[in-house]
Chain A
Amino acid sequence: MAQSNKPIVWGPFAAGGTLTAFLTPALILLTLLAGLGHVPELLAYEALRAFASHGLVKLGLGVVIFLSLWSAAHRLRITCYDLGVRADTLVATLVYAVAIAGTLAAAVYLLRLPAA
Chain B
Amino acid sequence: MAEQVTRKPYLRELPRTLWFLRHPRYVRYMAREFSCFFIGAYTLMLVLGLKRLAEGPEAYAGFLEALASPGAIVFHLFALAFSAYHSITWFRLTPKAMPVQLGENFLPDGVIAGAHYAGWALVSLVVLWLAGAF
A interface, CB within 8 angstroms of B: 17-18, 20-43, 45, 47-49, 52, 61, 65, 68-69, 71-76, 78-79, 82-84, 99, 102, 105-106, 109-110, 112-114
Q: Is A114 in contact with B123, judged by CB distance below 8 angstroms?
A: no
> A45 contacts which chain B residues (CB < 8 A)?
53, 57, 60-61
Q: Is A24 in contact with B86, judged by CB distance below 8 angstroms?
A: yes
B23 to chain A, nearest CB (A): 14
Q: Is B37 in contact with A76, judged by CB distance below 8 angstroms?
A: yes
Q: Is A35 in contact with B36, judged by CB distance below 8 angstroms?
A: no
Q: Is A26 in contact with B128, judged by CB distance below 8 angstroms?
A: yes
| 10 new A-B contacts at CB < 8 Å, known A40-B128, A41-B132, A72-B39 | A20-B87, A22-B124, A24-B83, A26-B123, A28-B42, A36-B68, A48-B53, A73-B36, A74-B36, A112-B54
Contact of B40 (CB < 8 Å), options: A76, A109, A110:
A76
Complex CA distance for A31 and B44, rounded to whole angstroms: 13
Q: Is B33 in contact with A73, judged by CB distance below 8 angstroms?
A: no
Complex CA distance for A95 and B37, rounded to whole angstroms: 11
A26 to chain B, nearest CB (A): 4
Q: Is B43 in contact with A69, judged by CB distance below 8 angstroms?
A: yes
